[in-house]
């Protein structure tokens, strides 16, 4: 009877006073819905929030925003200070290092006070003038959100095609520009994936289209300049709902390549770039569990594949014999080294590798079969190849940064091994890396696994538990979180915070097995690793549970939801950005973007074993009556990756069941999607809110 009365009361009121806190907190309206599968019934009181166009939904989200603003009102001036502080470190007038492609140098610049870049080029002839290709500041004036997706230049250098998104749902329109006349073609290619590639005929553009419901990239079209989109030729359609496809051009410029991939399988098709309407030729038919990537060079292809080793090996094949039976071993797979990709030159290969959690660049001289590594001397860093578009070169561009090194773009002579600095990232206002310390430490997992962590802090801290500490992780899709530099992070470090990255299972930092041990029916290892890393930081007296904070976004938001259900008392506060928290409901709904393509990552809940396992950790399904830490949760109304209603439902249910008086804040950006605000400054307001939340909990006021 008590339950019925409470339900009626909630239905009749959109909000009620929390007498303990003497502040008004939104209480979401209840509409009971039973979700049934495998003879199991789940009650979802907040399912109705998935109605994006329902005024009641928008009203509730606005109420939550108002409540967040109210709770953070005391930090308003501090947020402004933080925003200006973050902004002040960014070089207002800045330019990228030009790269040479097909006789032109291309680069982009930022102008003082402007959010967006200007794209430029200049002929390599010394007397030529620079051309403005796109002024994104002008293009974005009438939009709340604006983002350039991709662009490509025709082989004759006269045409440019570019894509743009004005809603933040990663659905792009494409326009074509005649650079010789500085005029746009009449046609607009709508509802595309944003990827663009010119064929070598200077008349044909390949682009992808998304399913309007699921937003899966499932079609590749060829568009002839000057025609209507309705006349475009369908080149390829991916019918398997677990696969997505896209088109690109080989570095050699000889092939248009169509890639179709799922979590566990790849398939490539080849079209001569000079004959764009030729029937695509399959490189190697898809096989479940067979992953591969292809790189053209002269009369052969290099293939990076897991055919013989889970950490991937490198093979070769002739142009006309591309089936896997014809692949020849070039570099064998190694148990302690993960091959992540190749950069192919006429006389060199640069192999991107990962060993013991760190990235390495392995340079191979194809003329004499020798190889060497480019060495780095920090305990935690990230290095990777940059823009290298010319095959006939012995010069490699690569980028390097670390938790204390802001970042450097190098030019590297692969013959004599000499490095040349092209650009060092400038931190406006000054930055002394010698004032900070970077460490790599290891936690003991509950199953005996050693889990690496990368950390940075200001010199002078004492291991007495007094240091506020922010622990960050992701742990899904085999995506590795590398120890990279952030100027924004200085606002934390200068105020005494330790920042730590937990390289937990589900990523690929320690090789392919590291990923496989953190997915499907082993997904809980991801959560256990994060908790064990948290306990290690406390045991080693970096911090205590009263000043330990956790943060993660998207699938990392799932991680946040899981750990606060499992060990809520470990953390004083948690930040979850665009969190994937309603796992079962989402994975059972095939109309939601990304669902079917995710089965190999999370499992298909239409199978009972996966359903039961998901239910055992799904954050939304495992909320219970207990104390939770202080929480800041963010989302975007137009999010295409994780729908806004997942965090909204999560917050509503937490308000209903949690037994504490801690902060529970939901901030919905009503104009953006998964990636947050566009532009180089506007998103800093979101970071300022995050930091103000942490500082409020630490009683840091300036």
Residues with active-site annotation? 554, 639, 674
Q: Cβ neighbours of residue 502 under 8 Å, at least 6 residues apart? A: 443, 451, 453, 471, 472, 473, 475, 529, 530, 533
- CA–CA distances in Å: residue 206 to residues 294, 626, 641: 19, 54, 24
Six token digits for residue 477? 């899709």
Contact 11, 28 (CB under 8 A): no
Six token digits for residue 67? 């409540």
CB atoms within 10 A of CB 616: 11
For residue 234, count CB atoms less than 10 angstroms from its CB and return exposed for 0-12, middle for 13-18, buried for 19 or more: exposed
Q: Which residue shows structure tokens 């930055």?
A: 431
Report d(CA 507, CA 474) in Å as an integer. 7
Q: Which of 624, 642, 650 is nearest to 566 (CA)?
A: 624
DSSP character at residue 279: P
Report d(CA 41, CA 227) in Å as an integer. 53
DSSP character at residue 507: B
Contact 671, 50 (CB under 8 A): no
Contact 44, 28 (CB under 8 A): no
Residues 582, 587, 590, 596, CA torsion sign:
positive
Helical residues (DSSP H) of 27-75, grouped into ranges: 55-71
Helical residues (DSSP H) of 554-607, grouped into ranges: 555-566, 583-588, 599-602
SS3 label, residue 522: helix
Characterize the bridge pairing of strands 348-355 and 358-365: antiparallel
Q: Which of 635, 639, 638 is nearest to 652 (CA)?
A: 635
Characterize the bridge pairing of strands 217-224 and 204-210: antiparallel
Helical residues (DSSP H) of 107-218, grouped into ranges: 136-139
Q: Which of 662, 658, 648, 587 is nearest to 618 (CA)?
A: 587
Report d(CA 481, CA 501) in Å as an integer. 8
SS3 label, residue 479: coil
Q: Up-side HSE of residue 318: CA atoms within 13 Å toward CB? A: 4
Helix 76-88 to helix 684-697 angle, to the nearest 10 degrees? 130
Report d(CA 68, CA 665) in Å as an integer. 5
Ramachandran category for residue 472: left, alpha or beta (phi over 0 → left; psi -120 to 50 → alpha): beta
Q: Cβ neighbours of residue 309 under 8 Å, at least 6 residues apart? A: 332, 333, 334
Cα angle 313-315-316, degrees, rounded to a multiple of 5: 165
Report d(CA 556, CA 581) in Å as an integer. 10
Contact 553, 532 (CB under 8 A): no
Q: How many residues are given for the chain?
A: 702
Helix then strand then coil, % of the chain, to nearest 5: 20, 35, 45
Contact 218, 245 (CB under 8 A): yes
- CA–CA distances in Å: residue 86 to residues 489, 500, 617, 686: 9, 20, 37, 11
């Amino acid at each position: 009877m008590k339950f019925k009365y409470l339900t009626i009361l909630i239905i009749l009121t959109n909000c009620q006073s929390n007498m303990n806190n003497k502040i008004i907190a939104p209480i979401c309206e209840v509409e009971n819905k039973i979700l049934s599968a495998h003879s199991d019934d789940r009650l979802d009181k907040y399912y109705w929030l998935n109605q994006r166009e329902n005024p009641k939904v928008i009203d509730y989200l606005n109420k939550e925003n108002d409540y967040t603003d109210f709770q953070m009102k005391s930090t308003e001036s501090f947020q402004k200070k933080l925003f200006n502080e973050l902004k002040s470190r960014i070089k207002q007038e800045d330019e990228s290092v030009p790269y040479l492609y097909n006789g032109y140098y291309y680069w982009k610049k930022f102008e003082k006070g402007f959010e967006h870049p200007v794209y430029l080029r200049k002929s390599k002839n010394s007397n030529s003038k620079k051309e403005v290709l796109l002024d994104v500041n002008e293009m974005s004036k009438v939009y709340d959100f604006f983002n350039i997706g991709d662009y490509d230049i025709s082989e004759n250098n006269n045409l440019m095609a570019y894509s743009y998104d004005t809603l933040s749902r990663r659905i792009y329109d494409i326009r074509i520009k005649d650079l010789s006349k500085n005029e746009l073609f009449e046609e607009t290619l709508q509802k595309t994936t944003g990827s663009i590639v010119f064929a070598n005929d200077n008349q044909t553009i390949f682009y992808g289209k998304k399913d309007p419901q699921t937003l899966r990239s499932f079609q590749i079209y060829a568009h002839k300049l000057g025609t209507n989109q309705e006349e475009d030729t369908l080149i390829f359609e991916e019918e398997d709902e677990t696969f997505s496809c896209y088109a690109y051009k080989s570095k050699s410029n000889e092939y248009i390549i169509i890639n179709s991939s799922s979590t566990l399988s790849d398939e490539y098709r080849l079209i001569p770039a000079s004959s764009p309407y030729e029937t695509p030729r399959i490189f190697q038919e898809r096989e479940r569990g067979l992953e591969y990537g292809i790189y053209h060079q002269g009369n052969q292809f290099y293939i990076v594949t897991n055919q013989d080793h889970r950490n991937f090996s490198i093979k070769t094949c002739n142009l006309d014999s591309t089936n896997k039976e014809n692949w020849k071993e070039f570099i064998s797979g190694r148990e302690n080294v993960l091959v992540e990709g190749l950069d192919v030159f006429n006389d060199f290969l640069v192999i991107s590798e990962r060993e013991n959690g760190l990235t390495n660049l392995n340079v191979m001289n194809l003329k004499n079969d020798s190889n060497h590594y480019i060495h780095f001397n920090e305990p935690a860093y990230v290095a990777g190849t940059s823009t290298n578009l010319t095959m006939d070169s012995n010069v490699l561009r690569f980028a390097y940064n670390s938790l204390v090194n802001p970042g450097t773009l190098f030019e590297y002579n692969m013959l004599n091994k000499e490095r040349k600095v092209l650009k060092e990232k400038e931190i406006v206002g000054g930055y002394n890396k010698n004032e900070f310390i970077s460490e790599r430490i290891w936690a003991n997992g509950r199953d005996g696994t050693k889990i690496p962590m990368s950390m940075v802090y200001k010199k002078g801290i004492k291991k007495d538990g007094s240091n506020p500490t922010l622990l960050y992780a992701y742990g899904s899709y085999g995506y590795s979180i590398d120890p990279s530099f952030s100027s924004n992070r200085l606002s934390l470090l200068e105020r005494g915070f330790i920042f730590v990255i937990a390289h937990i299972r589900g990523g690929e930092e320690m090789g392919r097995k590291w990923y496989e041990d953190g997915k499907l029916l082993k997904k809980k290892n991801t959560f256990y690793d994060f908790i064990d890393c948290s306990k290690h930081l406390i045991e080693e007296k970096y911090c205590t549970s009263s000043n330990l904070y956790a943060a993660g976004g998207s699938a990392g938001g799932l991680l946040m939801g899981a750990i606060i259900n499992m060990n809520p008392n470990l953390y004083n506060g948690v930040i979850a950005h665009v969190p994937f928290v309603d796992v079962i409901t989402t994975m059972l709904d095939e109309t939601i973007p990304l669902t079917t393509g995710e089965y190999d990552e999370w499992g298909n809940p239409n199978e009972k074993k996966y359903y039961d396992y998901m239910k055992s950790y799904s954050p939304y399904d495992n909320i219970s009556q207990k104390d939770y830490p202080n929480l800041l949760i963010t989302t975007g109304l137009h999010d295409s990756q994780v729908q806004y209603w997942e965090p909204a439902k999560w917050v509503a249910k937490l308000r209903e069941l949690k037994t504490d008086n801690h902060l529970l804040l939901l901030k919905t950006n009503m104009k953006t999607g998964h990636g947050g605000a566009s532009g180089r400054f506007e998103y800093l307001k979101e970071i300022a809110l995050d930091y103000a939340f942490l500082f409020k909990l630490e009683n840091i006021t300036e």
